[in-house]
Structure 1
Amino acid sequence: MRLHRLELSAFGPFRDRQVVDFDELGADGLFLLHGDTGAGKTTVLDAIVFALYGEVPGARNQAKALRCDTAEPGARTWVALELSVRGHRLRLERNPEYRRLKKDGSGHTDVQHSVSLSWLSQPPEGEPREGLTRAREVGQTVRRLLGMSAEQFCHVALLPQGDFARFLRADAGQRADLLEQLFGTGRYSEVERWFKETRQLRGGELERVRAEADRLVARITQVAGGEPDVGEDRVRWLDDLEKDLVRRGENARAEHRRLDRERERAERTLTARRELADKVDRVRRATAELTELSGQEETVRRCEAELDAARRAVAVVNADREWETGLRRLRECERLLRQARTECPDVDATREAEPAETLRARAVELREEAAVLAEREAEAEQQHHDQRRVAELEEEIAADSAADAELAERQRQLPEEIERARARSQEAEQAPQRLETLTARCAELEEALRVARELPEADARCAEARLRAQRAVDEHQTARQHLQDVRERRLAGMAAELAGDLCEGTACPVCGATRHPDPADPAEQSVGAEDERRAREAEALAQRRRDEERAALEEAERECARLREQLADRTEAPLREEYERASAERAELEELVEQRHTRAERLAELEADVERVNGDRVELANRISANRSARDSLLATIEQRRQRLRAARGEFDTVAARRNSLIDRAEHLDRVATAGDEHERALEWEAEQRRARERVAVENGFATAEEALGAAREQRRIDEVDEWLARVRRREAAARATLDELAGVDPEAEVDVEGAAAEAERARLRAEEAGTVAADLERRAAEIAELGGELRRVHARLEPVEAEFAELDALTDVVNGQGQNARRMTLRSYVLAARLEQVAEAATVRLRHMSDGRYSFEHSDEQGPHGKRGGLDLRVRDDYSGRSRSTRTLSGGETFLASLSLALGLADVVGAEAGGAMLDTLFIDEGFGTLDGDTLDLVMDALDELRAGGRVVGLVSHVDELRQRIPVRLRVRKSRSGSSLGIES
């Protein structure tokens, strides 16, 4: 990859458009990028990365503040880069997502991220000739051509010396993090994690199967009713248990059948004795019953006579009831006749009653007179209707007059209201522009408030992570000390441990003797290999937890730093006050915006009200005039009709009252005539019923009706006597039938029922107890058979699961640096160690040249102290002393040489590993100030070799001597109006 041209505008500190011609700048293969602190040297490198990948290195990418703060409102922020990759020349142009002021200053507008890729030569096969404009497609094309991610590019093409100086001094964990990012070995960590999770999952499955087997054994033991004596072979134990239950069940069933036969014999004896005792008892009761009934013969005869007379009197009682009904009817008719004569005004109640025909004729005359008044009644109704209409017209005239007065007042107020509504409408029309500006400010404040609220929680999490990390360190130190103690105690007791395996006549593994006269005795607190293994596993677990807690602490500290950078020394309370003020103002403006149409409609309504009020007043004037004319005409008609109605009503208040009076009198006369007719018919009915009562009494054998009524009884009494007589007859018949049936039974015989019952109960209890035992054994045998089938199926599953888990467990230990893994290296560490060895070999070539053959890198995969995992140890060999030493012992200048060599070596390895394009343009950042003149000459010679190979190398430095050594320079100047770029030679 070779850079040709960089353009940027309103980007970082560069307000105006700047152009960097790398072809001119790198014509000699080496150039210097220098300038004042804060002028924008780093921004030039950021612009290159942003053009390629749409992001900038490190924490600056999180800030999302790429637009120049002093840029003109209408200026566009953008970066363009021309480069050649794999023989293809292309141009990339991007602008970041940013917010800028509108040109009129009325608010902000958001500019979305955009990108375009144009081919300046023949594009690669499969790429469109017209280029690309989608961010995702452009990103895929760039990564495919360069063969590396943005993070890898930043470490390979932009060599940050400070990062590699830290890499030199870092421990194994920190080196592993950087190497994993560069070489993309995260998949090996995923493999380790997969093995751990799979082992945990399979271990859980194994424990569940074992627990299921244990549960079934416990359940079978519980059902069998004994203590568990399972032994090693559970299946054989189960077979023996099932055979024993079958034998016990057969014995129990045989005993139950024998006792059941004894129960049947005892029950048959009890049934026979109960039958005989029942017959004796029935004979005794039947004899006593006949003796009792013989003393009630006289009472039976009296009851039969009473019952006969009462049944004959029933017809007379019914006839008497008919007569009483007719008598009550006669009395009611007499009362109604008296009442009708008293209520009728045209009949004298003290005089003899007139014939019904005369009364009805007088009623007809009154109705005819009432019919004549019906016509006048209709005129009276119309009179009332016209009077109500006059009152309604008066009310309408008054209401319309009042409405006209209100409209006149409204007509006077409308001009002032229209003027106020016009002002409110203009205010609402101006609200949207003000609201847009204020909404953007509220969004900024709300985001800052969110960050301010998150910061205390992040600090708390950081403090908790720090405490957990410290506890993990303490626990690891304790575990490591315990492991050391166990090892020392085991070594001290090793003689006793060896003596424990000695047998008389067997050769000693130490001295070869077959006699052991004085073997060492174990100490009270001796330990063995198992104790050491547990201590070692506990120490490894504590080490892993320590590493995990330390990584969590670093992540928490990075999160706190990010939040504080976003807040920029602002606190929550002032932010909340400012946000509340802005929110309140925004709410008022939002309300005005919502009222914009309402206020405009209100103005239009008021303007329309002027014309509507004028029209309504004209309409009211016309209606008032018409109602007054109608009222005067009705008043004249009412006065003419009043004279006719006065003559028609006479002494009554109304014509209807007089007509209703005539109709009422006619109806009273009709009621008197009808009551007279009913009274005559009631007299005839009462006499007929009295004669029928006497006739029925004679017909039923009584001299008079009063005699028959004296013999009558209530039906309840009749039913009681009849039932008593029937009961007496049934008792006598039943007693005689019993004596006939049991003629040969002696009533004085004694039968022992209780003894037979007691014996039958004892036989039943013995049989039931035997049946319960047999059923329980049968139930337990069936349940154990079912549980045994489950246990056999579980055992069939358990063996392959145990074998699979044992293999997985051993392999997981190896992958995670445990068990049979002699180097104690995880899979991830092993891969990273191989990559670090490649980097060390490539960096050694550079370092030996720059140090005049004195220094070289050495990589070691040996274990660290105290059994610590190895593989990522990097040391420097000094040929002057012939010894290797830690990279932390290097001086400042030596550290720079080593860092530069390591960076160049890493660039070579990463480029080859990624399979990407050759990087023909490199940037090396700072660190040259730590070198003496001779060492600087060696470094410059090494850089000359780089450019001799066709590369362009850019040095970023403040060192004055480099300005004299490097003739071509890119100068960055800063000023109040923005930074600028210029080529010096």
Structure 2
Amino acid sequence: MPAPTSCGTPTSTSPYASAGSTRIWVGVPPTPSPSWSTSGRIDRPVNAVPARQGHGPATTSSTPTTTAGTRAKNLPRGCSSSSARCSMRWPMRPRELTVQGFRSYRRRTTFDLRGRRLVGVVGPIGAGKSTILDAVVFALYGKTPSFERDTRSLIHQLEDGCQVELLFEVDGQIWRAQRALRRKGQSQHRLERLAKDADDAEVLETVLQEKPVRQRVERLLGMSFDAFCRSVLLAQNRFAEFLKATPTDRNAVLKGVFGYERFDGALSAAKDRARRVELELDGIEREGSRLAEARARLAEARAEAGATSARHAGLDAARGRLDVLTQARDAALRDATEASARTAQLQATAGALPWAERLEEVADDARAAADAVRIAQEDVTVADEGKKVAQAELEAISERIGGHAAFQAFAALVEKLDHEARAVEQAAAAAAATAREAEAARAAANDLARAATKKREALDAATAVLEAAGPARTEAEAALHVTQHAEMAHELRRDLTAGEPCPVCDRVVERVPRAGAAPKVATADRALVKARTVETKARNTKEQAAAGAATALEQAAGGGERAEALAIQLVARQDAARDAEAALAATKSELVDRLGDGDPRALLDERQHELELAETAVRAASAAADAARTHLDTCRAHADEAGRGLATLANQLASAWGLLGQARPVGTAAADVRSSYVQLGETLVERLTEAAEAGDRAGAEAHAATEAVAAELAALDLPPDSDVARVVAAAAAAAAASAERVRTIEETLATGADLEARLVVATEARDVARRLVADLQPSRFLAYLLEEERAALADLGSVHLEELTHGAYRFSGDDAFHVLDMNAGAADRTADSLSGGETFLASLALALALAEMVARGGGRLDSFLLDEGFGSLDAEHLDRAMDGIGRLVAGDVDRLVVLVSHVEQMRQLMEDLIVLDKDVRTGETRVLSGAGPA
């Protein structure tokens, strides 16, 4: 097989792939054979194991002797099975494994196992090493050694489901097993056979559902789940299951590994053949019984055929006479039925006609309604005339005194007169009030003017005082300054010395001035303070006087303006009073022109009352006319209803005439309705009489014909109500059936001529099948083969165990697989008495021996999945164990061995590694290496 590239190519697109999943390809080129040596003792052929005494040379026959109780002989241990055992068998070889959401593998991860032989899986505890092996088993069988029932526990704790897909090869065919679990809902199980190992491979076969997929896998691999876990998969803490298994469990493993389950199929086929031959013999015996019975029934069948044929001939001859009588009877019955139907129709027509009392009632109602319409029409005419008279009187009054529009204008003038009178009074009062206000404003303005003059005089006086206080303050300041300098000079004189520099100007003092009186600085200072106080008071007085003068001038100006404004307002209000008086006079004149002299409001009420009386009369006349017209409409509606009643009666009578076959129109007048009603009654009586007479005649004819038919049927032993045609047909069918039974019996007797010869052949076939079933029983032939394989496995396992333990241990010579401790005088030790390291080495020796036997015999054990167990070995035994495992993949054999271990020394001894790690936060598995060449 060519070496794959560093990154394997996916063989298919899984239906479980989801968007966003990360696909990690783990694949390396085929590794060369391990560097450690291989013992020559392992290379000896299987048939080199000494044969037991009593065995002759090898033969090619795989069929045991047919003598029950004697096991097959002449079969060497090296080729102890059938031709299927000795012929070449293709191995079961995993090619690619894909997991997602499976235990610690949350992301989609793919392991490419193509071309790989010895693969080590290493990593810390919980990194998902054993999960790889669990995934292989789960893909094949739908369960794992740790989770055989609660498989949903295999789903990652943060996911709702998981998917596992395994691509493998068996017997040269490519298969793909797919399984998906859901926390809620149905699981999915699918097995496909592909045309090739490629992405676009055609699907040649599909198996669905859990049980069919598991059964198909068991047939492909030749072993059940338990047998697989004891031979191919040596799971964690279950490495020694084959060593400690019962003989029955070991036989199940060996049968699957070496293909002996086909003997079960052969036994099943032999049993099926025996059952089929037994059924055939039973059929032949039943056929013999049927032939004897047929010979006894032939004479009876021939007699029955003659009788049925004669019966059919007699009935067929009488059928013509019966047909004539039956036709006459049927015609008379039809006539009687038609007469009865006509009578019923005429009676129904008569029953549907209205009663005579109803007709008279409708006619009288129509006549009374017509009279009421005439009287109501006369009342409408009288009411219309009264309405016209009242309207003429109203028009005359309106023309004389005006209508409502004029009265509204009169009322508006009266209201206007009242309003203008009030306006005159208000204008006069306002003018008087304004005159008083104007007079008061003029007096106040004069007072304010005089006050302003006084304020101005006070301001002038304050200004003069301030002007005089300024020079006095300046003079006091100058006097204080002079006094202060004089005091300074007086003080300085004390420090002056003639001929010395002056301390102030630094000039030489020529002579010291004479001492004078001390200056009066305090007096000058008080005089200055007084002058400043006088000036400040004068300034304040002036400011107050200026403010008072300004206020007085402003008030005087405001008072003058108010007096002037009131004078102007007085003139305007006096003009308004005159205008109001003129408008009042004009309105009075207009009312006199329209209503005359007198109280305008009383005159207006009098004329309005006259108009209202005329309008009331018009309304009363209109109401009377409307009432008369409404009564007329009511009378007309009643008359129309009465007319419709007559029309309904006319339609009913016309319909009745139509049912009698006469299309006769009926008028809607009362006389027409009465006349048509009488004529229709007479016609119905006449036709009812005719129908009754026709029915009586037809009944008599039908009775006579029925009696004749009954007499003819009685002569043929048939009941009176028999269907002659059906009876004749039944007689013909009975005659044909009788003839067919005679023919069938004769054919049966003819076909039974070779019964004896067929019985001899079937008996011989049954005897052969029974011998095959006896020879293929598990307690004989297959038990012998399995005994040979167990013995060969014990011998070859001892060779490996001696090599792994430097000759310290070997297996017992029987098939119990006890361990002989050579250092203790070949003491016999059971598997339960071995230490952990001893148990592991013994189990490994059996696994190596089983693989070697299968490889030489063409079996199907070409994949080993080993989980842990190496930690119990020291360095020397670990090297020996790895040396033995190396032989499993040495040479040209395409065998895959996957080792899972924590042992660091094993990691150093292996070249092809899958290195795993886990996320410390989430516990999710991460693939660190294995995606490229080792």
TM-score computed with the length of structure 1 as normaliser: 0.31
Greater helix fraction, Structure 1 or Structure 2: 1
Pair member with larger Rg = 2
